[in-house]
Structure 1
Amino acid sequence: MQPVAAACKPVYLTLDTGHMAVAPLIAEVLKKHQVRVTFFAANERTQTGDGSLGTYWAGWWKARAAEGHEFASHTWDHSYWRADVPGAPPQFRIRPSAGPSEGKEFTWTARQYCEEIGKSSARLEEITGKKPLPLFRAPGGKTSPQLLAAARSCGYEHVGWSPAGFLGDELPSDKYPNDMLLKKALRDIQPGDILLAHLGIWSRKDAWAPAVLEPLISGLQSRGFCFQTLREHPQYQAWIEAHTSRVPAQPAK
């Protein structure tokens, strides 16, 4: 009689868009180690000149869908929440960091913010033929209770990351070299953690991926961890099941 294998210790690797230069290398590592992840996508500026959700990258996203990865919105123009605007109905100060309005600040209604989330979801579905998860990640993880309530009202639940899941690829490499980040992650990551990295960070001199990504995956797998997508995360399963069968609602103006 064969011994029953111990249950794996799940972790949830999530990858946000970036300059995309390392995206092909990341895809190779994920395929090699049979790791499925959840991508949070915005139409960010890339090193190819096209947006990360533009025509140039459409084939790359479609290939990831065929491999069984999941997708969700990171807003369309990587738009940062800056503040709630006092009064009712809810309004928010928003600053896009990509697209034609990059660096400008606007006051948006809940409906406008929902449209910003939904635009990325719609583009991902158009490219991949796969319906994205009814989840989103606000750029920088910056939100307010009022913003989160607005997003939920139109069918999107927010996903942040675990404290140990911040993998540090946004940090300057002279102060936080890859070896340091790898050792910290392998030491601190716990079962159930949501991990965060990017498909390329402009400001980091020594690229985090795949230099850290591959040994991190191998190291965690050797310790009995397994990688799952957010579709399998117990915190989001019920929300996903309840919101994938219907078109997201629009909040009242």
Structure 2
Amino acid sequence: MGIINIMKRLSPNAFIRIAAVLMLGCFSLGANAQVAECSKKVYLTFDTGNMSVAEKVAEILKRQNVKATFFLANEKTYRGDFALDDSWKPFWQQLAKEGNHFGSHTYDHDYFVKDGPKGQVFEKQQFGPKAGETVLYNEAAMCKQIRRVDQRFQEMTSQPLQKIWRAPGGKTSPTLIRIGDMCGYQHIGWAPAGFLGDELNSEKHPNSALLEGASRDLRDGDITMAHLGIWSRKDPWAPAVLEQLIVNLKGRGFCFGLLPKDSANQSK
């Protein structure tokens, strides 16, 4: 007897019960498939840089339904303005609206030079009134550089940063990390395989090689690092590599998380 004839012989109540069981089974299969599909997690992060590929990065993340964590400094951009100027306000507002996360990269993009006396640190400002100078920061001065980004971000988006920061170049010391902790901000670095290479020489490190390496080497829990534009790279990284990298990682069973890692908001 065919299944259609069997279904015709069922009472309405029996038909409804069977349909419910079938739907529940399909739902369970779908849920299990989703878990199997997303068995690992990677954390995409971007530092400001010169912002030349910022809009492209945002487009790719939105198209791929992926969120990322951005570390902001008031860096000079390819437009001749600065990344935290009002001219960039709509960009940051849109990223925030879409559920991305944000941390401080220090306001003047201060590079750690060395530890100073009495728990202080020497930092070299890349931008701001003392650009190019090496300045001795005590805890209060270093906290101001971290928190100033938070204050400016709130002015632009009406929401605070996550309580995280990243030292420019990833250059730190135990003293600098301690200062950041005392300011209330957790320092976020990146995994060795997470260095995506967008600031390397494009002739020696072509996009195809960078894509292949990251697609192969990233592991569960790794944090990546790239920029929203780099002055020195002739062959821009983001348009050529980012979207295919996301596709490749999804194919390996990765989903994409937001920082800090204990955040309740995660993207699939």
TM-score, normalised with respect to structure 1: 0.89
Identity of aligned residues (%): 50
Q: In the alignment, which residue of structure 2 is the partner of 1:243?
A: none
Q: Distance in 2 between matches of 1:128 and 1:39?
A: 14
Matches for 1:146-157 after TM superposition, within 5 Å: 146-157=175-186
Structure showing the higher helix proportion among its residues: 2
Q: Distance in 2 between matches of 1:186 and 1:138?
A: 26
Counterpart of 2:58, as a letter, is A
Q: In the alignment, which residue of structure 2 is the partner of 1:195?
A: 224
Q: Deviations over 1:126-184 (max 9, x none)?
A: 11122211010000111110111111111011000001000000101010000000000
Q: In the alignment, which residue of structure 1 is the partner of 2:46?
A: 15
Give 1:63's match in structure 2, choosing from 63, 69, 94: 94
Deviation at 1:99, TM superposition (A): 2.2
Unaligned runs of 5+ in 2: 1-24
Alignment check: 8 A CA contact 1:92 1:147 kept: yes
Q: In the alignment, which residue of structure 2 is the partner of 1:244?
A: none
Matches for 1:14-33 after TM superposition, within 5 Å: 14-33=45-64
Give 1:176's match in structure 2, choosing from 205, 209, 213: 205
Give 1:213's match in structure 2, choosing from 211, 218, 242: 242
Q: Aligned Cα RMSD in Å?
A: 1.2
Alignment check: 8 A CA contact 2:52 2:230 kept: no
Query: Following TM superposition, where does structure 1 have runs of at least 4 consecutive aligned residues deviating by more than 2 angstroms?
Result: none
Matched, 1:36 2:45: no
Deviation at 1:124, TM superposition (A): 1.1
SS at match of 1:187: helix
Matched, 1:51 2:78: no
Deviation at 1:185, TM superposition (A): 0.4
Q: In the alignment, which residue of structure 1 is the partner of 2:112?
A: 81
Q: In the alignment, which residue of structure 1 is the partner of 2:132?
A: 103
SS at match of 1:119: helix
Larger Rg, first or second structure (1 or 2): 2
Deviation at 1:18, TM superposition (A): 0.9
Alignment check: 8 A CA contact 1:44 1:99 kept: no
Q: In the alignment, which residue of structure 2 is the partner of 1:136?
A: 165
Matched, 1:159 2:188: yes
Figure out how many residues of one structure are paired with residues of the other and give that number: 233
Alignment check: 8 A CA contact 2:51 2:228 kept: yes
Q: Distance in 2 between matches of 1:35 and 1:52?
A: 22
Deviation at 1:204, TM superposition (A): 0.4
Unaligned runs of 5+ in 1: 239-253
Q: Deviations over 1:51-78 (max 9, x none)?
A: 1011111110000011000111000000
Counterpart of 2:120, as a letter, is Q
Counterpart of 2:147, as a letter, is G
Q: In the alignment, which residue of structure 2 is the partner of 1:145?
A: 174
